[in-house]
Structure 1
Amino acid sequence: MARIRCLHLADLHLGWAPRDWGGREAERQQERDSLLRKAVDLALDPAAQIQLVLIVGDLFESHRPPADLVAGVLAELERLVRAGLQVVTVPGNHDEITYHDSVYRKYGREWPGLLVTNPHPERIGVLTLGGTPCYLYSLAYTGGLTGGTEPLRDFPRGTEDGLHVAIFHGSLDWMAGERSLPLSTQGLAEAGYDYVALGHLHQHQVKTVGNTLFVYPGMVEGKNLSDPGTGFFTVVELGAGAPRVDKIPAPVRPYRQVTLDVTGMDDGRLGEEIKKMADPEAVVDFRLTGVLSFLPDWALLTEQLKRQYFYCEVRDETAFLDPAILEKWAEEPTLRGAFLQRMLRRMAAAATPEEQRRNYLAMAKGIAALQGGKARGER
């Protein structure tokens, strides 16, 4: 049996539009919408030796994407077909086929490759790849027809020699609160597929049950910082011997988490450390931790951080100001010193941690006002 290399895509979510990205919303949306072109470029690279491309749901963010975006997608898929690659597209839950105006109903007749439309698990076709027959099984979730209140357990599987590949957009077993098609892991394993290509979960997952390999490729390019993407394409090699899963780095904008411990820093050093971490290409979740020895102007600090990244969200996870610093300031023969003496007494007399926290915040705002800056939480 020949080895077959498959580019397994899912959850591209083309058409997703970011909000409140500092005026870069359109730029970021255009970048993400170019992801399919990058995937097609990979598939057409002779070095990749791709023969089959599976798009396992949520190609689009919505079941009704803009016409110009659809036109671009059809053109990219046609590039694959013209080059002799096999392409299979399965609707997901974001781009569900259920609706009368679904992109897959409107453009189904002209969709390049094999478009899955049947509402129940069926054999959807057989492809010959490198001389090896590849039997495909799938469904397109359709409201009112497919079901979905309990995990699907019965799956068809022929007995012919060759590869038997299942392609489903959904959750393995039932996940409470999930808006997805529930699939029984045991049922899929008992069917005896050589490969189960999955979509829906945005994290990369690989597992084997019995003799069956299950793979979620994950979302390649991130949305928000809470949904950062994998940063790689998933290529699976099937055939004689054990399957192999390769991660191919994708040319996407990096999503990063950056943590800076401010303990022991003064204002000048904090600014220097922040400048060292600048990366204008990255989308960054920036976290400040540790114990402050001074009270920064949080508005200015946040603005500085946002200027040195493509996009940045700042989290203040610092602890209270260093008690030794507060005691030292309280000894000053100044208005700040008198204010701190009173606030420290109030904090010491607080009956609950919540009351102490409120007094601390009041103290921090008071110090900031006296210094002409802004405390955390102020706008």
Structure 2
Amino acid sequence: MPVRMLHLADLHLGYAAPFLPASLAGAWREERDRRLEHAVGWALQQPRRPDLVVVAGDLFDRPDPEPALAWRTMAALRRLVDAGLAVVTVSGGHDEWTDPSSVYRRYGCEWPGLLIREPDPSAFGPLLVGGEKVYLYGAAFTGGWRPASRPITQLPPRSAREGIHVGLFHARLTGLSAGMPEAGPASDRALWIDGAALAGAGYDYVALGCVHRYLTISLGRTLAVYPGPVDGRSFDDPGTGHYVVVDLQEGEPPRLRREAVPVRPLLSVSIRAGVQGLSSARTIASHLQARLGAVRPVLRLVLTGDGEVGAALDAGELKALLAPACFYLEIEDRTCPVDERRLASLASREDALGRLAASALETWREKGSADRLPVLQDAWRLAAGALEDALP
């Protein structure tokens, strides 16, 4: 029978959303902070339980989470161990173990299961999991130890022994022709591993964390997987809403599946007002309510549209109609109450707004192709809005 593994990463427990008002931020954070407890309950309730649970870094959003959250997290992991499941945790860039106040320093001796803290890639095990020997290879992120400019090129090779061989890293991969998304500004907050070196190590499966989306990468005989965070942190980091489960059997390729689980969605929706009858607050609200369903999401609604529709649309009324269907709602009004005719009228003014309109009109006529109009309208909306606020 294959070894079944639940692969988690980037849960970021303790994350506080800066975009939410104080009246909602606490409740939303508490929902997110229950994710590991939910995952544990889910795993233990399955007809065929996982044999192994791995956490590939950034379990916490910071190295020193509140003690109550740390104890709750350890209690959840201990439930797995007490039920006979193997548990392996590695730290990431956000919950780096070398921080003097790190949760892994304070509670390392009590941490349920195997806690990987070695800064250099090392071999561990074997663990006897589901009647099979599982050999582990991993390293913990250590700030300043291996910057992005010096990726890891030496990894412990796959042991010649029979069994299942699993890598576990909070890392980004380099040297790949395609597949990896661009690194952000915090690129030194993760290990960097040369893709060719990882392929050469010959592991069966590599459980990765760091990239905030579901991503699979084939490296010869090795399958490397980013599960992505289950719950999102922002509209641009919305989470996956899935657990990743993998079946591992010696001599066979890993078999992956994603299990959908309840989450509060982080949705970013763009609507062009005036298209397909969506020309009023009521028609837009009715259209969205049909899409949102029973789960009250965190919703960002971006409104675009031409001048005539934008001027008639009442964004305040729309927010009042939609708010009851949302946990949180923000509306970004990009409707542009301007067209070529209005620009020509404003250009006759002998003030700063007139000069701006004349310049915009000239640009409009020179570069006003269909694909450029939204950009020009956005520029006008921002600039003219600022001027109108300043003018008497």
TM-score, L = length of structure 2 = 0.81
Kept in 1: contact 2:346–2:357 (CA 8 A): no
SS at match of 1:350: helix
Q: What is the rounded CA distance, in whole Å, between the counterparts of 1:204 and 1:267 in structure 2?
A: 34
Once the two structures are superposed, the pairs formed by residues 1-379 of structure 1 within 5 Å of their partners are: 2-22=1-21, 23-143=23-143, 145=145, 149-156=149-156, 157-173=158-174, 175=183, 177=185, 178-179=187-188, 180-240=190-250, 241-263=252-274, 269-278=280-289, 279=292, 281-294=296-309, 295=311, 296-302=313-319, 304-321=321-338, 349-350=358-359, 353=363
Kept in 2: contact 1:236–1:245 (CA 8 A): yes
* One-letter code aligned to 2:234: N
Report the CA distance shift for 1:364/1:303 in structure 2 as closer, same or farther (over 3 A): farther
Kept in 2: contact 1:258–1:285 (CA 8 A): yes
Kept in 2: contact 1:264–1:293 (CA 8 A): no
Identical-pair percentage: 38
* One-letter code aligned to 2:359: A
Q: What is the rounded CA distance, in whole Å, between the counterparts of 2:278 and 2:222 in structure 1?
A: 57
SS at match of 2:300: strand
Kept in 1: contact 2:277–2:283 (CA 8 A): no
Q: What is the rounded CA distance, in whole Å, between the counterparts of 1:346 and 1:239 in structure 2?
A: 72
Q: What is the rounded CA distance, in whole Å, between the counterparts of 2:193 and 2:383 in structure 1?
A: 53
Kept in 1: contact 2:132–2:163 (CA 8 A): yes
Kept in 1: contact 2:11–2:229 (CA 8 A): yes
Structure possessing the higher radius of gyration over alpha carbons:
1
Residue segments in structure 1 that go unaligned for 5+ positions in a row: 331-337, 370-374
* One-letter code aligned to 1:60: F
Report the CA distance shift for 1:237/1:353 in structure 2 as closer, same or farther (over 3 A): same
Q: What is the rounded CA distance, in whole Å, between the counterparts of 1:267 and 1:167 in structure 2?
A: 49
Report the CA distance shift for 1:71/1:301 in structure 2 as closer, same or farther (over 3 A): same
Kept in 2: contact 1:260–1:288 (CA 8 A): yes
Q: What is the rounded CA distance, in whole Å, between the counterparts of 1:169 and 1:196 in structure 2?
A: 10
Residue segments in structure 2 that go unaligned for 5+ positions in a row: 176-182, 365-375
Report the CA distance shift for 1:364/1:245 in structure 2 as closer, same or farther (over 3 A): same
Q: What is the rounded CA distance, in whole Å, between the counterparts of 1:124 and 1:242 in structure 2?
A: 22
Q: What is the rounded CA distance, in whole Å, between the counterparts of 1:143 and 1:359 in structure 2?
A: 45
SS at match of 1:222: coil
Deviation string 1:310-355 (CA, Å, 9 cap, x unpaired) is 122322333444567x59xx9xxxxxxx98986998677437549x
Report the CA distance shift for 1:348/1:74 in structure 2 as closer, same or farther (over 3 A): closer
Report the CA distance shift for 1:266/1:245 in structure 2 as closer, same or farther (over 3 A): closer
TM-score, L = length of structure 1 = 0.83
Kept in 1: contact 2:280–2:314 (CA 8 A): no
* One-letter code aligned to 1:171: R
The answer to which of 172-181 and 134-143 deviates more is 172-181
RMSD of aligned residue pairs (Cα, Å): 3.3
Q: What is the rounded CA distance, in whole Å, between the counterparts of 1:144 and 1:20 in structure 2?
A: 31
Deviation string 1:151-176 (CA, Å, 9 cap, x unpaired) is 10111131101111110001112747
In the comparison of the two structures, how many residue pairs are matched? 357
Q: What is the rounded CA distance, in whole Å, between the counterparts of 1:267 and 1:208 in structure 2?
A: 44
* One-letter code aligned to 1:314: I
Q: What is the rounded CA distance, in whole Å, between the counterparts of 1:243 and 1:339 in structure 2?
A: 65
